[in-house]
Copies of this chain bind each other. A is one copy, B any other.
Amino acid sequence: MIRFIVLGHRAYTTGDFRLDDIAGGAGRMDILVRCINSAFFLSHDLRKDVELFLILEGGNDAPKTIRLLGEELRYLNPDERSTASLIRNALLKKIENEEVPSSPGIYVSRKTFSDVMSELSDKCRFIYLRENGTDAREYRFPDNPCFILGDDRDPTDEEEETMSAFSYDKICLGPLSLHADHCMIVVLNEIDRQKNPV
């Protein structure tokens, strides 16, 4: 399983944002929505071996974690607005201590970034994207990689501290710094190639 954790530092945690203002009024939810597109879409298929965790840290009910599981996903379309609508539906769910299902393949919980990392730490190898990391093309991807990405902001000091509690590898994707959703495309292409050489 390939996993991604994306930190949405200002992303709204209540479902009362407007779908025509996801970049502004929903705390750059547009970035998270593009990460969903990158994680799952193939030309005429979805990537079933991907699990994506969106850590929403903004708005009035933070934090929440939205988990998307490729093998169960339904009703996902590639455009931002309809994907944001699925996220909004998840944020409208009443949640207490347990993770709650929203639409097929989409779950919502009150888990923090630290909760998610702790939970995944025994079944994944964490990988960070860093300019001084190993070239991704020289790196042999493990069977269960888990990539940690920020939205348009770097991880906070607190998040860095959480991350540093676990062992990880650092890789570099190329000479230029890319948006999170673009990084995911490059990473997935490299993994595709390592699994099935061209």
Contacts and interface: CB of A to CB of B under 8 A. Distances in A.
B177 A198 contact: no
A73 interface: no
B43 A198 contact: no
Contacts of A82: 23
Nearest to A136: B198
A192 B179 contact: no
**How many copies of this chain sit in the oligomeric assembly?**
2
Interface string A8-44: 0000000000011011000000110010011001111
Nearest to A180: B43
B79 A23 contact: yes
A193 interface: yes
A3 to B, nearest CB: 18
A119 B144 CA distance: 48
Contacts of A177: 42-44
Contacts of A38: 182
A189 to B, nearest CB: 5
A178 interface: yes
Given A20-B81, A42-B178, A174-B198, A189 B186 contact: yes
B189 A30 contact: no
9 contacts: A23-B78, A30-B78, A42-B178, A80-B81, A81-B81, A174-B189, A174-B198, A175-B197, A178-B189
